[in-house]
Amino acid sequence: MSAPTVSGPPPTPAGERRKVTERQRILPSPVTGQELVLIGVIAVLWIVLWLSTPAFLTANSLQPLLGAVAPIAVIGIGMTIVIITGGIDISVSGIIMVCAVVVAKTLVDYETSIWVVLLMSIGIGALLGLINGLLIAYGRVHAIIITFGTTNIFQWLGLQIFGGNTVSGIPDTLATFGNGAAGRTWGVPHAFAITVVLAAIAWWYLRHTAGGRHYFAIGGDPVAARLAGVRVRPRIASAYVLTGLLAGLGACFLVAQSSTLAQNVGTGKELAVIAAVVIGGTSIMGGRGSVLGTLLGALLVQTVSSGVTQLGWPSQLSDLFVGIAIIVAVGADLIRERARRRAR
Amino acid sequence: MKRTRLTTAAITLGVAGALVLAGCTKKNEADTSAGAGGGDTGAATTTENAGGAAGSAGASAAGGAGSAAGSAAQGSAAGSGSAGAAGAGSVEKASKNFKVAFVPKLQGIPYFEAMNAGGKQAASDMGVTWLYQGPTQADAAAQADIVRNLIQQKVDALFIAPNDPGSMAPVIQQGIDGGIKVGTSDTDAPDSARQVFVSQASTEGIGQGLTDELMKAMGNKGKYAIVSCGETAENLNSWIKVQQAYTKEKYPDAEIVDVVYAGEDVAKATQMATDLMNANPDLTGLVGECTSSAPGVAQAVKDAGKIGKVFTVGLGTPQTMAPYLKDGSSSASVLWDVQALGYLTVWAGVQMAEGKEFAAKPEIGTDNLKDVSYDAATKTLLLGPPLVLTKDNVDNYNF
């Protein structure tokens, strides 16, 4: 699905070589080993499922699958960058909750256009992300603590807006992001197409611009990055703003998928997103990673979950398989890292 | 995710305050979008609704025919209930102002808010004090803290819908030792010393009701699948067992092909229902076993454009199911009158506090509680047969 976003060989990067990557390779290869493995695994799974289930490789099955991948993958783009800088953002569940309930309530109570709610959701997400970013970049407390705190605050805020009720009867203003017929063009779910486009932009930015490489430099060694002239704090903050913004977009995708919205809309989403990022080969220690891998990671998780159901296997097996995938991915990352150290 | 108690306390306080605020400001928006709007449950979470302070049972404002518990006493300061249009008025007053407390699995969800509304109404009708307090997430430890707290406050009767029946048993014993009448409501703790279980419906009633409604839509034959929620949820699993046995026995041409578990996640239930339809092209029925998977399976049928080809039933609350019942993606929702359950809980608490025994067919005096029965062997007070929601009656219920 996402293979076409990988373009040809990179042009020579301008400027940043002398700043940050004096001793590193100039650029990693466009597709990492982990991504190739993931593409292979997903391809094998799809073929196996195609052969062993009546309808896995049909539009009716793949369209909802890609629709379900979209919210996780789109937030995963931001999360990848956060994790590349050596941080983590577990508050996305809270951000999703606040954005989703604001969107849902607005749609129920007012006649609004899709653009208004979309901008509102993204704006609120970015604002909440900014709170995270400022606290983490300037507060010098580890991101997991800060976002653990803010996720509780955001959830409180969300519950307050929910006001003790599930939001029901949400009109289909956002149908263009939904799983129904209105949510597709030429058979491709819009939410997934948007995710792929954003992932492609992020992939290019991270790989081919000085700004993008700065995230890697910060994750590799923040002190060295600062000495090399990277403005570390604003850049860290920007990663959380981006994650919040994308969580706002992801929340719109989620609201579009149902006419009812419960308070647990964000529950567990932070772990699903982090799982996709880690399975995609991004190092949880920072410094290495790619959004393409994250997209593939999200796709793998959803393939496993759908596959287990379509094969008629017990539901809890999908948790087992995802768990194994995470461990294998982290293990592969460690092995690669050791090999790299030894090579130097 | 483990939280510290301090955080939980802060959140509980915050949410309580916030919801009170929200309850005050949201009322005027109740009538947007024809019946399917955000609802107007007076969403105060920690409420003490003493005798005459009626009127705050905001949820009753739009109460329809069936929910007599909700329709009484619109703004009646006397709280006698005789103002109710449904003629609910003959409930006996309590001999003194007992404190009846209920601890839901979690607060802030429509289901328990509806129970809260019914409980408030009963407290106001009977002249007792109603305390409603629960954790913000379905967390057993946080819930046990709240229960212990209420035991220390020396309430007269205490009801719990335990998240974890096993770990609640010693806490229940603690309450009984402290001279408090302790019962369970909505969810039982069968191995505890609880003195009564206020049951919404019998396991057979729900399981058979779901099966009958689905078979009616499917023409008594065909393959169907069940999308359940928590894999360890005792009540869901016992309903599923009844559905399996009952389908085999009464509908030989029908077959359950799969049971899957989606957790309490609407989107996941939708995705799993979609996968089930793809895996079984001849599937003509789906059951959403809980309040999150009931709208989930209906949404899947709607998205796949299979309304009229694949039929769904589920255990969904009226407001979330209304759009699906109306567009045909859901044929029926089997539930019980949740407000009446709250009402019955308070009534049971008052009886126990008065030291009275339950009769086998107790006379409670309201119209929607006339099917209540009591089984002394299991100490179970049963609300009655389940309520079947269809497109025709769904707008009568406002939770």
Any chain B CB within 8 A of the CB of A52? no
Chain B residue whose CA is closest to A184 = B303
Any chain B CB within 8 A of the CB of A64? yes
Name the helix (H) or strand (E) containing A206.
helix A190-208
A21 has pLDDT over 60: no
pLDDT number for residue A120 = 94
Map residue B196 onto helix, strand or coil.
strand
What residues make up the domain containing B297?
203-335
Percent of chain B with pLDDT over 70: 77
pLDDT number for residue B5 = 56
Check B15 against A259: CB less than 8 A apart: no
**Averaged pLDDT for residues A273-298:** 91
Q: Is residue B87 part of a domain?
A: yes
**Averaged pLDDT for residues B336-340:** 88
Q: Is residue B34 part of a domain?
A: yes
Name the pairing type of β-strands B332-335 and B387-389: antiparallel
**Averaged pLDDT for residues B334-355:** 91
- Does residue B227 sit in the same domain as residue B313? yes
Long-range CB pairs of A140-149, under 8 A, 24+ apart, other chains included: A143/A82, A143/A87, A143/A88, A143/A89, A144/A88, A144/A90, A147/A88, A147/A89, A147/A90, A147/A91, A148/A90, A148/A91
Exposure string over A161-172, b if 16+ CB within 10 A, otherwise e: bbbbbbbbbbee
pLDDT number for residue A165 = 74
| A195, amino acid identity | T
The span from the CA of B369 to the CA of B383, in Å, is: 7
pLDDT in tens, A146-191: 999 999 999 999 988 888 678 888 888 888 888 888 888 888 999 9
Percent of chain B with pLDDT over 90: 44
DSSP 8-state code for residue B162? -
pLDDT number for residue B30 = 34
What pLDDT band is residue B6 in, cutting at 50, 70 and 90?
low
Give the number of A-B residue pairs with CB atoms closer than 8 Å: 170
What pLDDT band is residue B44 in, cutting at 50, 70 and 90?
very low
Instruction: Please report residues of B whose CB lies closer than 8 A to that of A156.
Output: 11, 14-15, 18
B86 has pLDDT over 80: no
Report pTM: 0.75
Mean of all residue pLDDT scores within chain A? 86
Any chain B CB within 8 A of the CB of A182? no
B136 has pLDDT over 90: no
pLDDT number for residue A237 = 93
pLDDT number for residue A27 = 64
Of A83-87, A217-221, B355-359, give the range with the top mean pLDDT. A83-87
- Does residue B328 sit in the same domain as residue B345? no
Nearest chain B Cα distance for residue A300, angstroms:
15
Residue finishing a domain among B299, B317, B335? B335
Q: Is residue B399 part of a domain?
A: no
Q: Is residue B397 part of a domain?
A: no
The pair phi, psi for residue A235, each rounded to 5°, is -70, -40
DSSP string, A156-195: HHHHHHHTTS-EE---GGGGGGSSSGGGEETTEEHHHHHH
- Does residue B191 sit in the same domain as residue B268? no
- Does residue B161 sit in the same domain as residue B207? no
- Does residue B180 sit in the same domain as residue B317? no
**Averaged pLDDT for residues B281-289:** 94
The span from the CA of B23 to the CA of B58, in Å, is: 9
Of A29-38, B126-135, B348-357, B390-399, the one with minimum mean pLDDT is A29-38
- Does residue B22 sit in the same domain as residue B137? yes
B29 has pLDDT over 80: no
Any chain B CB within 8 A of the CB of A24? no
Check A168 against B274: CB less than 8 A apart: no
List the one residue out of A208, A209, A215 whose CA is nearest residue A234.
Answer: A215
Q: For residues B60 and B219, which has the higher predicted lDDT (pLDDT)? A: B219
DSSP 8-state code for residue B29? G
The span from the CA of B375 to the CA of B381, in Å, is: 6
pLDDT number for residue B39 = 32
What pLDDT band is residue B7 in, cutting at 50, 70 and 90?
low
ipTM of the complex: 0.81
> Domain with B176 in it: what CATH number?
3.40.50.2300
pLDDT number for residue B10 = 53
Q: Is residue B211 part of a domain?
A: yes
Instruction: Please report residues of B whose CB lies closer than 8 A to that of A65.
Output: 271
pLDDT number for residue B32 = 32
Any chain B CB within 8 A of the CB of A161? yes
**Averaged pLDDT for residues B281-297:** 93
pLDDT in tens, B87-109: 345 777 888 899 999 999 888 77
What pLDDT band is residue A6 in, cutting at 50, 70 and 90?
very low
Q: Is residue B373 part of a domain?
A: yes
pLDDT number for residue A26 = 59
- Does residue B84 sit in the same domain as residue B118? yes
- Does residue B173 sit in the same domain as residue B161? yes
pLDDT in tens, A300-342: 999 999 999 888 888 888 889 999 999 998 888 888 878 877 8
pLDDT number for residue B347 = 93
The span from the CA of B386 to the CA of B340, in Å, is: 12
> In the structure encoding, which two tokens stand for residue B24, read together?
């005050």
Any chain B CB within 8 A of the CB of A257? yes
- Does residue B324 sit in the same domain as residue B351? no
pLDDT number for residue A208 = 87
Map residue B197 onto helix, strand or coil.
strand
What pLDDT band is residue B60 in, cutting at 50, 70 and 90?
very low
A118 has pLDDT over 60: yes
Only one residue has tokens 């979470």, namely B45
The span from the CA of B311 to the CA of A179, in Å, is: 19
pLDDT number for residue B36 = 32
Taking CA atoms, A192 is separated from A184, A276, A298, B74, B315, in Å, by 9, 15, 12, 50, 31
Vertex A255 angle, CA A55 and B305, to 5°: 35
DSSP string, B30-77: TTSSTT-SS------SS-B--TT-TT--GGGGG--SS-HHHHS-SS-S
pLDDT number for residue A344 = 64
Instruction: Please report residues of B whose CB lies closer than 8 A to that of A267.
Output: 264-265
B52 has pLDDT over 80: no
pLDDT number for residue B157 = 93
pLDDT number for residue B85 = 32
Instruction: Please report residues of A whose CB lies closer than 8 A to that of B18.
Output: 156, 159-160, 163
Q: Is residue B143 part of a domain?
A: yes
- Does residue B207 sit in the same domain as residue B108? no
B343 has pLDDT over 80: yes
Exposure string over B332-344, b if 16+ CB within 10 A, otherwise e: bbbbbbbbbbbbb
Nearest to A152 among B7, B26, B271 (CB): B7
What pLDDT band is residue B208 in, cutting at 50, 70 and 90?
very high
Please give the tally of structural domains in chain B: 2
**Averaged pLDDT for residues B188-195:** 87
- Does residue B119 sit in the same domain as residue B148? yes
Q: Is residue B395 part of a domain?
A: no
Q: For residues B48 and A220, which has the higher predicted lDDT (pLDDT)? A: A220
Instruction: Please report residues of A whose CB lies closer than 8 A to that of B260.
Output: 309, 315
What pLDDT band is residue B58 in, cutting at 50, 70 and 90?
very low
pLDDT number for residue B337 = 87
**What domains lie within chain A, and their CATH numbers?**
29-47+59-338 (1.10.3470)
The span from the CA of A124 to the CA of A247, in Å, is: 10
What pLDDT band is residue A32 in, cutting at 50, 70 and 90?
confident
B81 has pLDDT over 80: no
- Does residue B79 sit in the same domain as residue B17? yes
